[in-house]
């Protein structure tokens, strides 16, 4: 199927209308007491009483955000599903187009911060789909809720106070502070505390604007990676092959050995090329799906990516997408599953087939939500598939294609 045409680059993305921020004059006693303490803390940290009272004092809590605390997709989704939706042909094509459109800007960013264009654009693509998906939750509502309810209240109190500082400084208008449930916002989804420490005014207009200014957003991302220890010109890592039973010791990002150690164990690059880093370079062996799936040796730059969002699956998505944006091929070793994950194109096709079979799941937008999962369970039962778990994988897509008679070609 032809790829969707990328819209022209603009200083600010097209977004859905900002949700209305509801207010409550009668807050629950516990929340009211918490807000009172928050006010004192914010004022003590330099927020004016007027800014706090206008933007936080009577904002109604949104209990729906509490359910996200333990449901982040990079921690709960099988790695092959997670990567299939983030490193697909659609995102690769769009990312290469953005690299072309912003070539001059990205070259200047690379010159200043030492982070190559493909890596910066990969972060942009994963974080907001190149500015198309900022998130829809008002930060002040989410953070005011999380600061007084659920776990990690101290963390979210700090993020709320930093958000008020951003408003007070005039860098971003309050109605632009819409993003994820946890408070990340803008083209590359900075948390408010990260914004205050790292964001830069790259175009020199006097504001650090990660919402309406692509230059500021991409430069701030490169600045973050530089501060996290990025080494210019060095690889993040490589897909590797590990001989069976050659190494049965500890793996994971925290276990590091010199590259020569891994080479002595028979570890080689999956593409047959030689290793680039110095043989004394610390390297970690990642087996994200166990010993039957793809393996990776990762170096310092991978850890810099990891610091952006503390998830190995997330860091792999960024790293693998950056490789594809540079013209690299996909993984050599398949994931150890008979039910491969779906690209966004395939997810939309799956939803279109479900709609054609009478399921009320909304539009075919490629977002697999509760309604889509319920419809998949119904079809798994109807078609006699097991397990009947509501997972959006290749097996249910192929089964629905067969039941339909024919379907569009799949990405392979």
Residue 289's Cβ-side half-sphere holds a number of Cα atoms within 13 Å equal to 18
Helix (H) or strand (E) holding 284: strand 282-286
In angstroms, the first-to-last Cα distance of the chain is 12
Report helix, strand or coil for 345. helix
Record the tokens describing residue 199, joined without a space.
């964001």
The string of DSSP codes covering 241-270 is E--TTT--S--STT--EEHHHHHHTT-EET
| Catalytic, out of 74, 97, 127, 239 | 127
Is the distance from CB of 350 to CB of 371 less than 8 angstroms? no
Q: Is the dihedral of CA 138, 139, 145, 149 positive or negative?
A: positive
Tell me if residue 297 falls in helix, strand or coil.
strand
Spell out the long-range contacts of 195-199 with Cβ–Cβ below 8 A and sequence spacing 24 or more.
195/162, 195/166, 195/171, 195/220, 196/162, 196/165, 196/166, 198/223, 198/224, 198/227, 199/171, 199/223
Q: What secondary structure does DSSP assign to 77-116, as a single string?
A: S-HHHHHHHHSSHHHHHHHHHHHHHTHHHHHHHHHHH---
**Are the C-beta atoms of residues 193 and 158 closer than 8 Å to each other?**
yes
The question of whether 411 is a catalytic residue gets the answer no
**Alpha-carbon span 137 to 367, nearest angstrom:** 17
Give bridge partners of residue 190 from the DSSP assignment: 185
Instruction: State whether residue 144 is helix, strand or coil.
Output: helix
296 by DSSP, 3-state: which? strand
Q: Is the peptide bond before 245 cis (omega within 30 degrees of 0)?
A: no
Q: Nearest-CA neighbor of 59 among 85, 84, 39, 79?
A: 39
Distance separating alpha carbons of residues 386 and 245, to the nearest angstrom: 33
Nearest CA to 14 out of 103, 124, 139, 129 is that of 129
Among 177, 195, 189, 186, residue whose Cα is nearest residue 139: 177
Catalytic residues, by residue number, are 127
């Amino acid at each position: 199927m032809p790829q969707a045409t990328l819209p022209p680059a603009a200083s600010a993305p097209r977004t859905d209308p900002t949700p209305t921020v509801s207010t409550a004059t009668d807050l629950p006693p516990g929340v009211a007491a918490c807000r009172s303490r928050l006010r004192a803390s914010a004022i003590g940290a330099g927020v004016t009483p007027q800014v706090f009272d206008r933007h936080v004092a009577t904002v109604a809590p949104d209990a729906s955000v509490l359910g996200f605390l333990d449901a982040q997709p990079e921690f709960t989704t099988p790695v092959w599903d997670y990567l299939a939706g983030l490193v697909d042909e659609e995102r690769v094509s769009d990312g290469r187009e953005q690299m072309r459109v912003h070539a001059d800007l990205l070259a200047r960013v690379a010159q200043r911060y030492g982070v190559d264009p493909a890596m910066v654009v990969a972060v942009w693509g994963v974080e907001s789909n190149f500015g198309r998906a900022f998130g829809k939750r008002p930060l002040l509502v989410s953070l005011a809720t999380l600061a007084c309810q659920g776990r990690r209240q101290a963390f979210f109190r700090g993020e709320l106070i930093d958000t008020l500082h951003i408003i007070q400084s005039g860098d971003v208008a309050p109605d632009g502070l819409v993003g994820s449930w946890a408070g990340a916002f803008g083209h590359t989804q900075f948390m408010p505390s990260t914004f205050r420490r790292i964001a830069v005014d790259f175009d020199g207009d006097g504001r650090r604007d990660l919402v309406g200014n692509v230059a500021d957003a991409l430069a701030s991302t490169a600045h973050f990676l530089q501060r996290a220890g990025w080494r210019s010109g060095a690889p993040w890592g490589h897909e590797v092959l590990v001989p069976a039973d050659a190494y049965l010791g500890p793996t994971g990002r925290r276990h590091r050995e010199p590259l020569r150690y891994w080479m002595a164990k028979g570890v080689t690059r999956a593409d047959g090329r030689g290793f680039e880093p110095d043989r004394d370079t610390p390297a970690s062996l990642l087996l994200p799906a166990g010993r039957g799936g793809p393996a990776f040796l990762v170096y310092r730059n991978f850890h810099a990516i990891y610091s952006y969002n503390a998830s190995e699956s997330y860091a792999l998505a960024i790293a693998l997408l950056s490789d594809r944006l540079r013209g690299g091929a996909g993984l050599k070793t398949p994931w150890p599953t008979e039910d491969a994950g779906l690209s966004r194109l395939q997810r939309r096709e799956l939803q279109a087939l479900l709609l054609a079979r009478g399921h009320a799941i909304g539009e075919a937008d490629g977002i697999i939500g509760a309604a889509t999962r319920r419809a998949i369970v119904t079809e798994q039962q109807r078609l006699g598939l097991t397990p009947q778990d509501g997972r959006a994988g290749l097996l249910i897509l192929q089964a629905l294609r067969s039941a339909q008679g024919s379907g569009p070609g799949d990405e392979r």
